Amino acid sequence: MSLLAPVLAGLLAASAAGAAETAPSASPFAARRAALLARMPAGSVAVLRAPAEPDQSVDPFRQDSDFWYLTGFPDSDAVALLRPGAADGKRYVLFVRPKDFGEEQWSGWRVGVDAARSEHGADDAHPIADFEQRARELLKGAQSLLIRDGGDGAFREALLAAWHRGDADARALRPAADLGPLVHQLRLVKDAAEQALLRRAAALSVEGHRAAMAALRPGRHEYHLKAKIVEACLAGGAARVAYPPIVGSGPNAVVLHYNRDDRRMAAGEMVVNDSGCEYERYASDVTRSYPVSGRFTPEQRAIYQVVLDAQKAGLAKVRPGTSMTELYNTTVEVVVDGLRRLGLLAGERDAIIRQREFRKFYPHGCCHWVGLDVHDAGSYGVPENVERPERYSQSSATLAAGMVLTVEPGIYIPEGSTSDRKWWNIGARIEDTVLVTPGGADCLSCAAPKEIGDLEKALQSN
């Protein structure tokens, strides 16, 4: 694997410049394939797997994100080959399940082999059952193999075994590597088609959050708000929500990934609603926090205002050339200053930040990529083995126009974390999905109320 690393590193470094050289195409999928083919090492072949369909009674099939990004092919149990140096001109070859009404009647319509060519742009297509036999010829003469297995470990092992059997006829050891870094670097910058879908996903999420606010009443359960979000997503044409909604009230409002949503909400408490729609496979990530009673208590208002100020400061930093670390540090400074002002942190700002004392109230990063996945693919400039919260807060990634990310500071004060009980169980997070533009930030979800006056008005309109 390591033999290919220097080649991949060089290609990744040149990816931004190479994007501008890619020929335009009527199909965003064709343009993405062309961009990837231009970046692949000479003599390489890429193989991508669309995994087998799960039991539909448990989990309806969703195409692997990398496979979809490059092909737009919706069916399960498929394989795509990309061959930049194909002498026969067949640079894009698909292996798919053939049409078979007897099977489709039970599990749904298939694209089939012919439409894989005519409708999905494949230079050639074959039944998936022919992959093993035909792959020998298609891989013959290749000097390196790039793989995305779609989570199918058995497929990867079989492919690698077949690949290495061919080493006996090669002049030198032929490396194999993960295709992911190349694809994910491309996925970081969203094209026009992707931006339109992300806007729609965010707009549906805004509708859902407004509906949840209108449904809020003391005595109702958290799942009442969750239901409003899900309804807005599905009624707007989404196949699913982008992630399981997080609706936590009272003591649950300070739990970042609370997942039960079954508590009865009471007056005097805060509720944190972290919910977003997925539209045509593109995600949004939106959080709003507000008082169950419809009006903030003085303590709730004070904490919420600090979070709102931190998010505004973060949004103002979003522009090409800003690093994620700069953005995060900006939100940290506002949070620390606010908590010092309220007496929840003591000492000098620099010392509190250096010693990370603020992490007991603001334990997460402020930003992550959004796209085909809610925590989207793409480098953060830190090793993959670094835990996710640290990865986001230490990220050295630099923003560029077309990238999409969240801006989401938060403050959470668990019971017993301060000597003054009036702050206990106040949780507040404000999160929006944001597109980086040449001139700054285009907040895709900011139409969901978040100013204190707007929030109280929306909450009291029910």
DSSP 429: E
Is 184 among the residues known to form the active site? no
Active-site pick, 278, 376, 408, 432: 408
Look up tokens 């149990």; give the residue.
77
Give the residue among 98, 407, 68, 80 at the shortest CA–CA distance from 239: 68
Q: Note if 368 is an active site residue.
A: yes
Catalytic residue among 55, 59, 384, 387: 59
Label residues 71-104 b or e (16+ Cβ within 10 Å = b). Answer: bbbbbbbbbbbbbbebeeeebbbbbbbbeeeeee
Per the residue annotation, which of 62, 91, 224, 375 is the catalytic one? Answer: 375
Torsion angles phi and psi, residue 342, rounded to 5 = -90, -5
347 exposure class (CB count in 10 Å sphere: 0-12, 13-18, 19+): exposed
Active-site annotation holder among 149, 269, 373, 431: 431
257 catalytic per annotation: yes
Q: What is the rounded CA–CA span in Å between residue 293 and residue 262?
A: 18
Give me the catalytic one of 257, 354, 387, 421: 257
Residue 369 DSSP class: B
Q: Out of 285, 373, 432, 456, which one is annotated catalytic?
A: 285
Looking at 32, 39, 263, 368, which residue is catalytic? 368
Residue 405, φ and ψ in degrees, nearest 5: -150, 170
Burial class (CB in 10 A: 0-12, 13-18, 19+), 280: middle
Report how far apart the first and last C-alpha atoms of the chain are (Å, whole number).
Answer: 60
Q: Is 431 a catalytic residue?
A: yes
The single residue of 83, 110, 281, 429 carrying the catalytic annotation is 429
Catalytic hit among 274, 278, 432, 456? 274
b (16+ CB within 10 A) / e for 47-61: bbbbbbbeeeeeeeb
Single out the catalytic residue among 290, 412, 432, 456. Answer: 412
Catalytic residue, chosen from 32, 33, 364, 391, is: 364
152 is annotated as an active-site residue? no
Q: Catalytic residue at 120?
A: no
In the residue annotation, 408 being an active-site residue is answered as yes
Known catalytic residues?
59, 257, 274, 285, 364, 368, 375, 408, 412, 429, 431
